[in-house]
Copies of this chain bind each other. A is one copy, B any other.
Amino acid sequence: MTAKVKAACHAAEAGIPVVITSGFTADGILRVLQGQRVGTLFHRDAHLWYSVQVKEHGACKMAVSARDASRVLQGLSSVDRRKILLDVADALEANEERIRKENEIDVYIAKETRISEALISRLMLKPGKISDLAKSLRVLADINDPIGQVVKRTEISDGLILEKTTCPLGVLLIIFESRPDALVQIASLAIRSGNGLLLKGGKEAARSNAVLHKVIVEALPKSVGPELIGLVTSRDEIPDLLKLDDVIDLVIPRGSNKLVSEIKESTKIPVLGHADGVCHVYVDKAADLDMAKRIVLDAKTDYPAVCNAMETLLVHEALMKTGGLNELILALETAGVRLYGGTKASDLLKLPKAISFHHEYGSMACTVEIVKDVLEAINHIHEHGSAHTDCIVTEDRDVADVFLCRVDSAAVFHNASTRFCDGARFGLGAEVGISTSRIHARGPVGVEGLLTTRWLLRGTGQVVNGDHGITYTHKDCPLNYRNETSKNLDVANGGSSVVPSSHTDLANGCDLKT
């Protein structure tokens, strides 16, 4: 193999492209000649060839175009980006009839194919839904522009000012199931945060998604172009998209645990989401028992199918003697919850054994186990949980603090239901998802999860020169501070003679925040 690779490198250096591919597939060479990406390409400009090839393919071309359009979008002024959201809101209302007709056909077909009632209810755009969506777009238009915010400002040296500013991630791939209103919410978040977007919705909602997508991209300004938001219609294109880790920056699957796990398994692009939500409530010996019952019931029964519902109840062993354990069990059983026991609890309470401690029922069922104390509870959570949301119920402030400090989960609660773990309830505005990853964003994620930062440095000719070029000051500056070199910044928004007129919109848009 080494000899082959060396030969390929020599040829490539001389400008002759070489593909090395497996001899075991009969059609390997034919497929290469048809322009398919088979084997390994050797050429000094291979990274560019790759982009060119990519641009020739459907879904992949979409990703590249979305990035280009997003770069234009982030160059617009805050005012212009706000106007896009308002235009989209107006377009939705103006096309309500058209949207509802397509949605009715989707619902009709779904009923014919005997899809479950629950799915049909999620699929249907109920009366008033379109104007609700338009309303939420107008709310989003009026929030502070998330892009271009200065989060840190430092004077490096006299006249050399460093700023860390927020900017879009780039291109998002969002895969969602069933609910067509999700398309509008996601698209509006992407526009607000300046990101390009590829959307893949559920098959059942194909017509609704198509018309919503059309209405939205038609409302985008020409300078940005409809390519900002691509609608992927075939499931077959997903594997190709998941390979584009140099063009797509973040994948957000919104759907079943299975969907999230499958996507995490099959891509190197960072995935924002949670594969499972095995949430625990630990009832301490010092718990207020009425409160414990209230929290445990809410955590399990308020919405048993969601990720922030309780799946395991851990009870301090002291509550066996006081009768507290029995009260909790009775409350759950009365509410219709099927109980399964860990080793200790199944013996003691004659419960059927739980399949595994790492089990998400997603229904009116849960696991119960007895623990010696808060530390055993913490160990249990670390060993069997999914680091999503875990809760302690206790009146003992010290024990609560041990739990809050040591449980290594995205959300850790004291005396409050696990169901609160949600972007809207946390006051984050629109929720992008809940992340159990530890990188980038964790727990419920709002629009800030769609942003990254850039470092902007403005100087007056400073050089490093072996670190003798300047005298470092490293002074933190207030975020509303601007140094002399930038005092004319407002003028920048007034247009620029250097920029060809066809690009004037963009040049005007550079409203670096002050």
Is A512 part of the binding interface, using a Cβ–Cβ cutoff of 8 Å?
Answer: yes
Cβ of A491: which chain B residues have Cβ within 8 Å of it?
A: 397-398
Closest CB in chain B relative to A497 CB, distance in Å: 8
Task: Tell me whether chain A's interface is mostly helix, strand or loop, or mixed.
Answer: mixed
Closest to A406 in B: B75
Interface-lining segment among A130-138, A181-189, A340-348, A407-415? A407-415
List A residues 349-407 near B (Cβ within 8 Å).
Answer: 355-356, 358, 373-375, 382-383, 396-402, 404-406
Is A492 part of the binding interface, using a Cβ–Cβ cutoff of 8 Å?
Answer: yes
Contacts known (A397-B489, A453-B442, A454-B442); A375 close to B499, Cβ less than 8 A: yes
Q: Is the CB of A405 within 8 A of B509?
A: yes
Interface-lining segment among A83-91, A116-124, A154-162, A207-215? A154-162
Contacts known (A499-B402, A510-B406); A457 close to B414, Cβ less than 8 A: yes
Contacts known (A156-B426, A298-B463); A404 close to B443, Cβ less than 8 A: no
Cβ of A398: which chain B residues have Cβ within 8 Å of it?
A: 491-492, 494-499, 507
Chain A window 406-444, contacts with chain B (Cβ cutoff 8 Å), 1 for yes, 0 for no: 101111111111011100011100000000001110111
Cβ of A286: which chain B residues have Cβ within 8 Å of it?
A: 498
Q: Is the CB of A406 within 8 A of B302?
A: no
Cβ of A338: which chain B residues have Cβ within 8 Å of it?
A: none
Cβ of A420: which chain B residues have Cβ within 8 Å of it?
A: 156, 160, 457, 459, 462, 464
Closest to A76 in B: B405
Closest CB in chain B relative to A502 CB, distance in Å: 9
List A residues 471-495 near B (Cβ within 8 Å).
Answer: 472, 474, 488-489, 491-492, 494-495
Closest CB in chain B relative to A248 CB, distance in Å: 11
Q: Is the CB of B512 within 8 A of A298?
A: no
Q: Is the CB of B382 within 8 A of A469?
A: no
Q: Is the CB of B454 within 8 A of A443?
A: yes
Contacts known (A425-B156, A455-B426, A492-B401); A302 close to B463, Cβ less than 8 A: yes
Cβ of A419: which chain B residues have Cβ within 8 Å of it?
A: 463-464
Cβ of A426: which chain B residues have Cβ within 8 Å of it?
A: 154, 156, 162, 455
Closest CB in chain B relative to A60 CB, distance in Å: 17
Q: Is the CB of B454 within 8 A of A409?
A: yes
Q: Is the CB of B412 within 8 A of A455?
A: yes
Q: Is the CB of A406 within 8 A of B458?
A: no
Q: Is the CB of B438 within 8 A of A249?
A: yes
Is A252 part of the binding interface, using a Cβ–Cβ cutoff of 8 Å?
Answer: no
Distance A410 CA – B456 CA, assembled complex (angstroms): 9
Q: What 5 additional pairs, Cβ within 8 angstroms, besides A415-B461, A426-B455?
A: A162-B427, A373-B498, A398-B492, A409-B454, A416-B459
26 contacts between A and B (CB under 8 A): A44-B355, A45-B356, A148-B405, A169-B439, A249-B438, A250-B439, A270-B270, A285-B498, A291-B460, A375-B500, A396-B496, A397-B488, A399-B496, A401-B492, A402-B496, A402-B498, A405-B509, A405-B511, A410-B455, A411-B456, A414-B459, A415-B458, A420-B459, A425-B464, A438-B452, A439-B440
Which A-B residue pairs are the 7 nearest by beta carbons? A416-B459, A405-B510, A427-B474, A298-B463, A398-B496, A401-B492, A419-B464
Residue ranges of A at the interface with B (Cβ–Cβ < 8 Å): 13, 44-45, 47-48, 71, 74-75, 148, 154, 156, 160, 162, 167, 169-170, 249-250, 268, 270, 284-286, 288, 291, 294-295, 297-299, 302, 355-356, 358, 373-375, 382-383, 396-402, 404-406, 408-417, 419-421, 425-427, 438-440, 442-444, 452-467, 469, 472, 474, 488-489, 491-492, 494-500, 503, 506-507, 509-512
